[in-house]
Structure 1
């Protein structure tokens, strides 16, 4: 994998999908090794960002491809199929770009979009440990002359260790949340590689510490207001999570097919020469295939709903998009876990050998699907259809 100093600018949905497919082939090659050794994918990310894929959601009027959310979700699913961690690392990058699109000024958009098109990666420093709920924030933003100072500690900071800017959720002196796009090399900012999750091992989802970190006023964008009115920020975040799980599910399914075709021996009671002729295995693959295809179809459908909501943001379109994405999120959670487990049931004991690395699919799915509780997706979907109740305006539905 060779590095180029040139950063491509992708101009169409079709080009984005071709580039993503080609990259996925490369990324798949050593994905099991990176997982086993927890080898952080620095060279892969250089190739990934220089491909132009990190800029595909930049609107056309700012020089990007402005791809559909159907395409964006497919791109993430393709990369996640090759390597679950590489699929997750840009999730908050695209999330921050959506906050910028919805709440940023024209000057902020021109400057930050240009950075992205030039190959810069945005990470995140959003979540915090030790607060009353997972959504509470105490990291502070205080005025200092023409700019601000940030103090606090973040965790689950996926992508921060690889980023040139770290969009950080902060609470200002009026108790209002803002999003500060903090340069990675800022004085007093420390990124700690302390992520020890048993899945998604190379996402770099560790800690970020802010000690009197200065940020210019022009790098601070309203954040809380994105959830005080109907916007597409929440469902955009969620469709990317659904895409990651869909990709992981597809990877587990494909590996199960390959292993059973090439290595698995038939069970004695099946009375067949080959494992692929075992009628119970055939039935299980049919069951998996149907649910996987349903997941991929619901992911595409949710992208179409999100495209409509972005084109015309109001309570109705955003609620419909949020529910469509919640449906995809719910089924992608189930199929990613099911595929990772069923793989072993069908492939047999040989599949558990460490050298195959097949356990990473279930581990990746189990860790990533805990991002927010899928049981509340079912509640939101049911309430919407049964009681005409729109889901909450936040990023977790």
Structure 2
């Protein structure tokens, strides 16, 4: 399939404009979210509209022509779109991640080229994960042969790649044993994408598998990856805060769906002695509990964003560790809050909330699948070890 592309993408120039564009797009994307999830309809046209509207380019630094929005604004954009459609909110996550990898580790020439591609409306997917491996050793390789450079291997759970023009691919080099992020053109010879993601949640995120069969690549498409974790950089917390924003957005979407359903459909428990579910005192207690946890997660997310911005502006051992811990705190609470919101929707909505016509199960399914991205139990471990022993968390993409 040839990916649609136009060179007339709108250029968002301010944080206020980015937030306004996100709100407008969220209202649009919410209209058919249920049908897309239920019938597994991949949002090709919606993705094109999203990128042509300029939201793909909001984190491109100002010196390269973008809006260079703060981490707080980015998380608010992701959160709002995920609230409207948890599936769609996941699609640009790795695109923003790849832009940060470029900012930290690419040459000026690479930044100028790829940032310009994005501002024109082109999209990055991802090919990072591999299935059937207990550690993080990468079997997909960057091969440097006499007749050129090639990528060879297979990746799994490649969110967004079905919609992408470029697929940033994590590779290892047999020459030096180091990791590189290779930006592979979607239409390159030897690239095969398979729409084989069959998880019960995040069903229409374009998270298929990608196979690379001796795919020719140019040296200028190769960005060092190991280098960016041997020194303190904010890549890890930056990646994780986007995931936290996505989880929180899904939870907020579930809560937003809970309230009108209670008003219109739920019945008070017989012992409550009230005329409507909205007056049931124990139901009100649970609504308040979910609301408080979501608001607390939102506050931690905003706080973490400030730490990530500080680490971006002045990265060192302390600032990056502080950002990682702040993001871990937000991610831990966003995980539990989103799962709670999705579960309480049914408990408070009653049996009728489980009817397929409402499609309310998508909130819990999406939260449950996405929060498995990395184990939140290790967030608590990192937080506890830092608080008690002053041990900085390890530097990698999951912290």
Q: CA offset at residue 182 of structure 1?
A: 0.4
CA contact (8 A) 1:146 1:217 kept: no
Following the alignment from structure 1 to structure 2, what is the Cα–Cα distance between the partners of residues 99 and 183? 17
1:257 corresponding residue in structure 2: 259
CA distance in 1, matches of 2:146, 2:109: 21
Deviation at 1:146, TM superposition (A): 7.3
1:176-203 Cα deviation digits (max 9, x unpaired): 1100000000000001100001000001
Matched, 1:44 2:46: yes
| Shift, 1:145, TM fit | 4.3
CA–CA distance in structure 2, aligned partners of residues 161 and 99 of structure 1: 21
Instruction: Find the partner of 1:88 among 82, 87, 90.
Output: 90
> Does the 8 Å contact 1:139/1:153 carry over to 2?
yes
Q: What TM-score do you get using the length of structure 1 for normalisation?
A: 0.98
Residue in structure 2 matching 1:71, options 73, 78, 82:
73
Aligned residues: 394
Separation (CA, whole Å) in 1 of partners of 2:14 and 2:306: 17
Q: 2: CA distance between counterparts of 1:139 and 1:187?
A: 16
Q: 2:352 aligns with which of 341, 350, 353?
A: 350
In the alignment, the residues of structure 2 paired with residue 351 and residue 337 of structure 1 have an alpha-carbon distance, to the nearest angstrom, of: 16
Map 1:155-234 to 2 at 5 A: 155-172=156-173, 173-234=175-236
CA drift of 1:6 comes to: 3.3
Match of 1:272 in 2: 274
Task: Show the 5 A alignment for 1:91-110.
Answer: 91-110=93-112
CA distance in 1 between counterparts of 2:119 and 2:319 reads 29
Structure 1: runs of 5+ lacking an equivalent: none
Q: Answer yes or no: is the 8 Å Cα contact 2:95–2:125 preserved in 1.
A: yes
- 1:376 equivalent among 339, 356, 378: 378
Deviation of 1:175 (Å):
1.1
Does the Cα contact within 8 Å between 2:7 and 2:121 map onto a contact in 1? Answer: no
TM superposition shift of 1:266? 1.6
Return the alpha-carbon distance in structure 1 between the equivalents of residues 61 and 313 of structure 2: 12
Could you tell me how far apart the structure 2 residues matched to 1:181 and 1:53 are? 20
What TM-score, normalized by structure 2, do the two folds share?
A: 0.97
For the residues of structure 2 that align with 1:305 and 1:324, how far apart are their CA atoms? Answer: 7
- Partner Cα distance (1:6, 1:263) in 2: 46
Distance across 1 between alignment mates of 2:212 and 2:162 = 14
Shift of residue 362 of structure 1? 0.4
SS across alignment from 1:371: coil
Q: 1:60 aligns with which of 52, 57, 62?
A: 62
